[in-house]
Amino acid sequence: MKTLAKIAAFTAAAMFLAPAAHADAYQDRLTELRTKFKASDKNKDGKLTQQEAKDGGMTRIASNFSRVDTDKDGYVTLAQLEAQLAARFK
């Protein structure tokens, strides 16, 4: 019975802590994304071209640019990237 109680307590704690850890991970990634976007946006127009993403070390964005540029206008905005990040953390 003690083992069952310990398992129940562990499960309850995990269920309580998991959303907080998930939220923390999301916030960390969001902060990192915003920092990298700002540093990569060399002309400060609020848009990243594929070359700016590549030059700024945003290799995942650069290599998946055609998928990230959802409206196919040749650049991505921070709002587009934030939306994709949020979708990954749902």
For residues 60 and 76, what is the distance between their CA atoms, to the nearest angstrom? 13
pLDDT for the residue 18: 54
Give the percent of the chain with pLDDT over 70: 76
Predicted model pTM: 0.73
Segment 15-55, tens digit of pLDDT: 554 566 667 889 999 999 999 999 999 999 999 999 999 99
Helices (H), 1-90: 2-40, 50-55, 59-63, 65-68, 78-88
For residues 36 and 52, what is the distance between their CA atoms, to the nearest angstrom? 11
* pLDDT at residue 81 tops 90: yes
Domains of the chain: 26-88 (1.10.238.10)
